[in-house]
Amino acid sequence: MPSELETAMESLINVFHRYAIKTGKDGFALTRRQLKELMENELCTFLQSQKDPAAVDKIMKDLDSNCDGHVDFEEFVSLVVGLSIACEHCYQNKMMQAKK
């Protein structure tokens, strides 16, 4: 039986591939349209908190480190890691507030 972390990793991979398109012989990636759809469906709270209507375009530009117009899995994971770190900071702040 997979651990909680293994299940979370599998879920991350499954979500990516639910939206990704085949980009070559072995590659899968997200176009801007797929990234926007993924974020609207899977990160809707985050996306709604963004006041900038060009947020997806800016995120796409930041994530696309090789400037190929696609976000591959490694680039996508950097978004998830960044958001996870930000959420963990919020969690720590809430824990500190609760102790006061």
pTM over 0.85, yes/no: no
Domain containing 37: what range? 4-99
Q: How many domains does the chain have?
A: 1
Q: Tell me the per-residue pLDDT of 21-47, one tens digit each, with 9 for 90 and over.
A: 998 767 899 999 999 999 999 988 877
Q: What is the pLDDT of residue 31?
A: 93
Residue 11 amino acid letter: S
Count of all residues that appear for the chain in the document: 100
DSSP state of 51: -
The CATH number of the domain where 80 resides is what?
A: 1.10.238.10
- The mean pLDDT of the chain is 89
